[in-house]
Structure 1
Amino acid sequence: MTDDIQQLIQQLCSSGPDEWETAERALCELGPQAVEYLLPLLADSTGNGGVRAQSCLSSIGSGAVPVLQRIRRQGPGRLRRPALQALAELAGGQEIAERDLKAIERLVRVKLVDEQPDELPVGGWLAVRGAQVNDIVQALELGDVRPATVAMGISAAVESENSIEIEGEEERAYRVFITPEFDEWRLIYGDDFINDNWANAVQKLSARCNEAHFYLVDDFDGNNVWWVARNGEDHRGYRTYGDPEWIGDPMPFERSLMVDEDDPLYDPEEHGDYAEGVTDPESVASWISIPPTTISIAEKVGHGWIAVAGGDVTNAVFKGALQI
């Protein structure tokens, strides 16, 4: 049987689709017996072996959990790390031993001491200036707030499962990441949270923190959004597909890009057409806050936090092996 499984593992790494698809089906049918053989492939970051092994483990599902827990307790040592990764992917933190969770927390604290992140993703984000973490937590009604590196926060709020349905209720819980301060600005990420709640979130943040911004760069749909709220009210915003496309009066940075208002040809009704780039959220962020791609040259203060919005749930229920 061992030789047969090893042969299937080799086939799983094959470039021929017929071979690896056949091997994947066979390994999934073997269930828990295949788990120990699949784990070494999770370290394959260059080929397709790691992706296919993770797909097999996901198909085996909860049946793989006892095997992974046994490997974490008893070894072999070379498989302990991929077993922890697989447990996080399959069950979040709920099936990970307390001692392992404490070891992860210690590692996070060590990493936070001299963390120097390169940049943050450009997709959708909220931004507030000079706000305390507690202000953001209170405004967005966040719970289970935990220290996190930037890598950990982005993988939690953007790259891994970041929303779940709350059992028995018609609402969702979301994982959110609050960054360290960069030139006095904190950015807030959470793909699903932002998609579902940005308009409400930016108003709540501004009510607590005086002013809050929202930026969206959607290359797939060509949808750009930037929005500024002050004291709980919408102040100025642009949406590619909005109706209306613009709200509020031009901000000072916009007026600096306009043609001379004393020009007899100037038409205030056409203020949205005055300068190339003003509809680009990244460009706007460079004028009135901080673009996520420039944080490596910004002054960093403190560290980031992951938290949960909505429902009485914890970070442990979200699946995904987070980077640290």
Structure 2
Amino acid sequence: MPEPTVEALIGDLDSDDTAIRVAARDALQQRGISAVAPLMRALTGPASERALSMYTVTLQRLGRSAFSTVVNALASEAESDAQSAVTKRLSRVLRGFRTDCMVEYVGELHHDSPVVRAAAAGSLGCCGSAALPYAVHLLPLLADADRQVRDSTTLALSRLSADVAPMLSQVRRGGPGGLRRGALTVLADLIDPRELDPADQAAIRRLINIKQLDDSPQPFTACFLAWIAVRTGDQAGLLDLLELSDPEPATFVLGATAADSDSHDFQDGPPYPQYARVFVTPELDGWTLVVGRWCSPIDEERSDHVAHMCQELSAHYGAAQAYFFGAQNDGSAWLVAEHGAIIRRGASDDEGAADDPEWEIGEPLPFEQQERDRLIAEGGDVEFEWEFALLEMAPKLAGALSINPLEVGATTPARGRGVLALTPYGAVHGVPPGALPI
């Protein structure tokens, strides 16, 4: 029986039978370079998602045999449409050669096409610590004329491990000057910002101070947003009462991004990186917000301490409130304290508070009752609608009682400047590394 043709094997890559697909993939790998051109034609034409995935994997298994063909096709396609689906497919193939083609990747870092340069840099990053010996070849691309290349290189160096930090620190001290800014971004992504050279810390601080001159309030958007609102403009007093340390100037963009980034850094035990730092806003229409997962009134690790903090803050300033809001229907929680006493603590059922009859405190607030009365007046399935209303209760209640962080903006009255400060957790354990937009 004659061997199947390359074209027949490529057709089998879209078979409903997994065994047939795997056998075709392995057979094409055995054919070597003779399979490359037909596979490329299939990859760049119309095909099912399953077939495209199999074409990609098969080409990647061919490694060096397919490398130059993929690069040439990527450069050609990108010249006509750098954002096309075919360009993205070819970039994905290139990244998949991994450690088999690290030397080849280095050779393409100087390609005329910025799309190829970006893909080659990103591909080295995908090799992880194995690509450390080639890290020095990535450095010039930190000052590439193309933004995509610079971003891809920054991410690639960040993926190579903290072992590249000494090399980047040398760039910061000795140049070339055009690489210094990119090197600082990567360093901030690799290590605790407090471990940066004092001169680098000062450079970041100067840039933030300049940007704060015309900084204005921005809405807070995060998957998991937690905050404490205090009726005061006494930022220094808040820092002292909450035992927050090392305050550094922060724009709204920086503070909001830090809160969002940290809230995703879940960990079940100490040192709880999601609790390491908070953004303390300027005074906003008579209120100051402390934003970060450390402020959540519902987190099992934090709820008792947050309740105690709000009691103390309200005793000192008259009113303090703590909220949690999950933007993807992950629930709401709220705590309202006045003059040293908690008058209300509640949550949607999604937050599990209903499982603990002692967790809820006080009677529903007038705003809560208003919302329920509104649903009753509208008719329909009140209980069903009420479940969804509770999911979004935290920001709406905050808007009625203090400040809704989802709705602050350039027109919100503001006085002072924001700071990013360490919580007691962060003071001991440090903060998660990661460059943040200023």
Once the two structures are superposed, residues 259-308 of structure 1 have per-residue CA deviations (whole angstroms, 9 ceiling, x without a partner) of 59xxxxxxxxx99x989946622221221111113221210111111111
Whether 1:120 aligns to 2:239 is no
Q: What amino acid maps onto 1:281 in structure 2?
A: A
Distance in 1 separating the partners of 2:146 and 2:325 = 28
Provide closer, same or farther for how the CA distance between residues 32 and 135 of structure 1 changes in structure 2, counting only shifts above 3 A: farther
In the alignment, is the contact (CA less than 8 A) between 1:236 and 1:246 conserved in 2?
yes
Distance in 2 separating the partners of 1:246 and 1:311 = 27
Q: Number of residue pairs matched?
A: 303
In the alignment, is the contact (CA less than 8 A) between 1:178 and 1:188 conserved in 2?
yes
Q: What amino acid maps onto 1:186 in structure 2?
A: T
In the alignment, is the contact (CA less than 8 A) between 1:140 and 1:201 conserved in 2?
no
Whether 1:281 aligns to 2:394 is yes
Q: Secondary structure at the match of 1:118?
A: coil
1:83 deviates by: 0.6
In the alignment, is the contact (CA less than 8 A) between 2:248 and 2:419 conserved in 1?
yes
Whether 1:294 aligns to 2:379 is no
Q: Relative contact order, CA 8 A, sep 6+: which one is greater?
A: 1
Q: Secondary structure at the match of 1:293?
A: coil
Q: Is the strand fraction higher in 1 or 2? A: 1
Which one is further off, 156-165 or 174-183? 156-165
Q: Which residue of 2 aligns with 1:185?
A: 287
Whether 1:19 aligns to 2:94 is yes
1:20 deviates by: 0.4
Once the two structures are superposed, residues 134-190 of structure 1 have per-residue CA deviations (whole angstroms, 9 ceiling, x without a partner) of 33223322111223222222233332589799xxx9544611111111111111112
Q: Secondary structure at the match of 1:294?
A: coil
1:219 deviates by: 3.8
Q: What amino acid maps onto 2:402 in structure 1?
A: S
Q: TM-score, normalised by structure 2?
A: 0.58
In the alignment, is the contact (CA less than 8 A) between 1:177 and 1:306 conserved in 2?
yes
Q: Which has the larger radius of gyration?
A: 2
Provide closer, same or farther for how the CA distance between residues 274 and 320 of structure 1 changes in structure 2, counting only shifts above 3 A: closer
Which one is further off, 174-183 or 17-26? 17-26
Listed as ranges, the matches of 1:2-41 within 5 Å are 15-16=89-90, 17-21=92-96, 22=98, 23-24=123-124, 26=127, 28-37=129-138, 40=141
Q: Which residue of 2 aligns with 1:213?
A: 321
Q: Secondary structure at the match of 2:239?
A: helix
Q: Secondary structure at the match of 2:161?
A: helix
1:76 deviates by: 2.4
Provide closer, same or farther for how the CA distance between residues 287 and 115 of structure 1 changes in structure 2, counting only shifts above 3 A: same
Pick one of 327, 331, 334 that aligns with 1:226: 334
Provide closer, same or farther for how the CA distance between residues 313 and 255 of structure 1 changes in structure 2, counting only shifts above 3 A: closer
Q: Which residue of 2 aligns with 1:62?
A: 162
Whether 1:77 aligns to 2:177 is yes
Provide closer, same or farther for how the CA distance between residues 117 and 89 of structure 1 changes in structure 2, counting only shifts above 3 A: same
User: Alpha carbon RMSD of aligned pairs, Å?
Assistant: 4.0
Unaligned runs of 5+ in 2: 1-63, 75-86, 99-122, 375-381
Which one is further off, 40-49 or 291-300? 40-49
Distance in 1 separating the partners of 2:430 and 2:373 = 54
Distance in 2 separating the partners of 1:84 and 1:274 = 49
Provide closer, same or farther for how the CA distance between residues 174 and 164 of structure 1 changes in structure 2, counting only shifts above 3 A: farther
Distance in 1 separating the partners of 2:366 and 2:193 = 48
Q: Secondary structure at the match of 1:124?
A: strand
In the alignment, is the contact (CA less than 8 A) between 1:142 and 1:308 conserved in 2?
yes
Q: TM-score, normalised by structure 1?
A: 0.76
Whether 1:237 aligns to 2:313 is no
Distance in 1 separating the partners of 2:188 and 2:270 = 26
Q: What amino acid maps onto 1:247 in structure 2?
A: I
Q: What amino acid maps onto 1:19 in structure 2?
A: L
